[in-house]
Chain A
Amino acid sequence: MSSIPYYPAAERPQTYLNWSYRVKSWLFTRDHKRIAILYMLSITLFFFIGGAAAVVMRLHLLTPDGTLVQADTYNRLFTLHGVVMVFFFLIPSIPAVLGNFLIPLMIGAKDLAFPRLNLASWYFYMVGGLCAVIALVAGGVDTGWTFYTPYSSIYSNTNVVWAIAGIFLAGFSSIFTGLNFIVTMHKMRAPGMTWFKMPLFCWSHYATSIIQVLATPVVAITLVLVIIERVFHAGIFDPSLGGDPVLFQHMFWFYSHPAVYIMVLPGMAVVSEIIPCFARKPIFGYSFIAFSSVAIAVFGFLVWGHHMFVSGESMYSALIFSALSFSVAIPSAVKVFNWTATLYKGSISSATPMLYALGFIGLFTMGGLTGLFLATLGIDVHVHDTYFIIAHFHYIMVGGAVMAYLGGLHFWWPKITGRMYPEFMGKISAFIIFLGFNLTFFPQFLLGYLGMPRRYHSYPPEMQVLNVLSSAGASILAVGYLLPLGYFIWSLRYGKIAPTNPYLATGLEWQTTSPPPPENFDVPPIVTEGPYRYDLMVSQLGTPLIAEGARIQTTGSAVK
């Protein structure tokens, strides 16, 4: 826990990273930890591709008449941004990287239940991702990430089929990941690891996996139907052939609304681990947080109709979808209240992961509450398809999911790589991201309320001030995202060697070495305590132990 001796290279203990350096040992690995690293690298690539498109859009929107790119190019940019960020970054981000790496460690298993399937999921993801990105960059697609018919099926002259085929393939990767997690959590828990001793990280991923397994096939067949529609002019979604375009919207959102919870539930998973660690307290309301994850997954399946309030949906179904959408707020609020109750009277330290977790709580709350505005029928009609929506879901997706992903990366970086990230730089970039994020997206709430529609490449001159603020924020945000990319790479060589448990955190993953051995535990663990027993972790003087991450900042000394 406190220190590990320095070994000459030849005598270093075998870890999952150093047992073989051959390319083959990575590309054909069945180790969940190595597959997580493969995912991490590819997700980072897609994140910066999608981010680059966003930067160009924000630069373009600096001026009302938009002189940087043409209207057609702008359409292709927001489609590129949306498709890449949703399907190739957010959906796989936390589950495929952190979930993949941590779930077997957290429940004391040697690997996921189906290691080959796990590797296959990465290949499906990569083939799908490259297929879609090539279609989106070379020539482009102008339908928006939602592929609404009949635009995508008849009128668009762009590479819709290839982009959709890529998403279809990536869908398999999502299903495989979810299926693997569910079976692993059911069948592979270590002796003594009961369901209610599992960390909340696992519970949240369990709920996520249910959505991945049950919702993804629906969008898969829907996208296949769009391809059939486009190639053969079948007519399922074409009114001139007797089809119904709104049916597409129903089938699309039956997946794509629950998909929002695929993105944010894993974020909640990460926050539920970080908060108790840096408040040095057992989590408040463990079972409420666990069941609220499942409740979000279940309610999430019943609210897709709120995307069609202005698509000619009947008043009565709109009313019911509105009421059901409100009900999702209950389990979400249960989580937020439990996290804040965990903070109450805790010994809070402000290490980098904690900054991200606190940022998550604030921004997720903003995003969630504005979601209630949108579930309200009257307000939705007013702000539908405006920047209000854009701001709302970016507060959830970027302010929530991306903040949590970064928080989780910092928190488990020592475990994943065996190196500490630089704490000072971590804090700086957490602040930059928080500031940049709010400056980018808060003005968009105002813009949307004033009536600026989404996906337009120009706007009236009186909206320029807010747009300039938003673009300025985006440039700050870009710096905030580039900093961790830089210092994470730097830390691989120059970072301090990480001890087994740098934050004195609970959880099985902190009991094995950093980085873990190929089969995770040298001695198979037996679980006797519940998770988050920070109350049992007191020093000999009887005072609670404070996380090492906080100590780095106060004393500036090495974690040795």
Chain B
Amino acid sequence: MTELATDLHPNKALAHHFTDMPQQREAVTLGMWLFLATEVMLFGAIFLAYTVYRHQYFDSFRAAGGHLFVSFGTINTCVLLTSSLMMALAVHAAHQGDSKKIVRYVLLTILFGAIFLGIKMTEYVIDTREGLVPLNGWWKAQSPDLRVDREMRLFFVFYFTMTLLHAIHMTIGMAILAVIAWFAHRKRFSAEDYNPVDVTGLYWHFVDIVWVFLFPALYLVHPEMHLFK
């Protein structure tokens, strides 16, 4: 629509179809909350499936949970919550229109996200060595009882599906954050126009909260979970 005369709006940050900045800001924020609602339903459905089998195969799921590394999970929870803190600081800096601080805190957010993914990868590698990947040829029998072994395998199907889905969300989030950092570096944002930082922050916090639910559901189900296995 660049050819239209009406596109030549005095305020470049304001899209042509909004009347003023508050309207645009409210619309974008509501849009992100709705998107997060779809994400809740997406993760909710798989949490539901997990809960069904956790209820059905209570003992096997508890035993399977004992094979996870609570130490890694705990450290990762701390790392991710710290990245959320950095994101909150970036949003705060955006509200004040301080571009330098936005760049700094967004990069820190990405850094902590990367540490999280690095630890997660390490964990996957160890899981693979222990034969916990529920694929034909990869899975090693975890119990002499075939039925229990089958049920423990199902636990790991959920473990990998859910944590990978979460990791995909984090990777997308980090890519968006990189763009945000670039924009902030180019002084795209101001104290009046910080919407993209704001809503990306909402998304990032949401992804963190998903982990806050994943962590107890997967790692802490074993009765004698050991912090350092």
A29 to B38, CA, bound (A): 26
A112 to B15, CA, bound (A): 11
Contact A225 B38 (CB under 8 A): no
A214–chain B nearest beta-carbon distance, Å: 6
- State which of A30, A109, A213, A235 has its C-beta within 8 Å of the C-beta of B34: A213
Interface residues in B1-59 by Cβ distance below 8 A to A read: 1, 3-4, 6, 15-18, 23, 26-27, 30-31, 34-35, 37-39, 41-46, 48-49, 52-53, 56-57
- Main SS at interface, chain A: helix
Known: A183-B31, A214-B38. A110 touches B161 (CB 8 A): no
A324–chain B nearest beta-carbon distance, Å: 19
Contact A225 B17 (CB under 8 A): no
- State which of A114, A183, A242, A244 has its C-beta within 8 Å of the C-beta of B151: A242
Known: A19-B4, A221-B45. A233 touches B136 (CB 8 A): yes
What are the residues of chain B within 8 A of A164 when measuring CB–CB?
none
A215 to B41, CA, bound (A): 7
Contact A242 B150 (CB under 8 A): yes
Closest to A518 in B: B4
Known: A110-B17, A187-B26, A244-B52. A217 touches B42 (CB 8 A): yes
What are the residues of chain B within 8 A of A19 when measuring CB–CB?
3-4
What are the residues of chain B within 8 A of A110 when measuring CB–CB?
16-17
Contact A222 B45 (CB under 8 A): yes
Closest to A20 in B: B3
Interface residues in A173-220 by Cβ distance below 8 A to B read: 175, 179-180, 182-184, 186-188, 213-218, 220
- Main SS at interface, chain B: helix
Contact A247 B42 (CB under 8 A): no
- State which of A183, A220, A247 has its C-beta within 8 Å of the C-beta of B49: A247
A180 to B28, CA, bound (A): 10
What are the residues of chain A within 8 A of B151 when measuring CB–CB?
242
Q: Please tell me the size bucket of the interface on A.
A: 35 or more
Q: Does B154 contact A (CB under 8 A)?
A: yes
Q: Tell me the count of chain B residues lying within 8 A, CB to CB, of chain A.
A: 41
A228 to B134, CA, bound (A): 11
What are the residues of chain B within 8 A of A215 when measuring CB–CB?
41
B218–chain A nearest beta-carbon distance, Å: 15
Q: Does B175 contact A (CB under 8 A)?
A: no
Q: Does A69 contact B (CB under 8 A)?
A: no
- Among B23, B27, B37, B150, chain A packs the most CB atoms within 10 A around the CB of B27
Contact B46 A216 (CB under 8 A): no
Contact B154 A235 (CB under 8 A): yes
Contact A242 B57 (CB under 8 A): yes
A524–chain B nearest beta-carbon distance, Å: 8
Contact A251 B17 (CB under 8 A): no
Known: A235-B153, A241-B150, A243-B154. A218 touches B31 (CB 8 A): no
Known: A188-B23, A225-B46. A236 touches B157 (CB 8 A): yes
Interface residues in A1-53 by Cβ distance below 8 A to B read: 19-20, 25, 29-31
Q: Does A113 contact B (CB under 8 A)?
A: yes
Contact B31 A114 (CB under 8 A): yes
Closest to A187 in B: B27
B149–chain A nearest beta-carbon distance, Å: 10
Q: Does B135 contact A (CB under 8 A)?
A: yes
Contact A183 B34 (CB under 8 A): yes
B21–chain A nearest beta-carbon distance, Å: 12
- State which of A213, A232, A254 has its C-beta within 8 Å of the C-beta of B135: A232
- State which of A218, A247, A519 has its C-beta within 8 Å of the C-beta of B41: A218
Contact A216 B38 (CB under 8 A): yes
What are the residues of chain A within 8 A of B34 when measuring CB–CB?
179, 182-183, 213
What are the residues of chain A within 8 A of B150 when measuring CB–CB?
235, 241-242
Give B contacts to A, CB under 8 Å.
Answer: 1, 3-4, 6, 15-18, 23, 26-27, 30-31, 34-35, 37-39, 41-46, 48-49, 52-53, 56-57, 134-136, 147, 150-151, 153-154, 157-158, 161
Known: A187-B30, A241-B150. 11 other contacts (CB 8 A): A112-B17, A113-B17, A217-B38, A217-B39, A218-B45, A221-B42, A221-B43, A236-B154, A242-B153, A254-B45, A518-B4
Can you name 9 A-B residue pairings with CB atoms under 8 Å? A111-B17, A183-B34, A188-B17, A218-B41, A232-B134, A233-B135, A234-B157, A241-B150, A244-B56
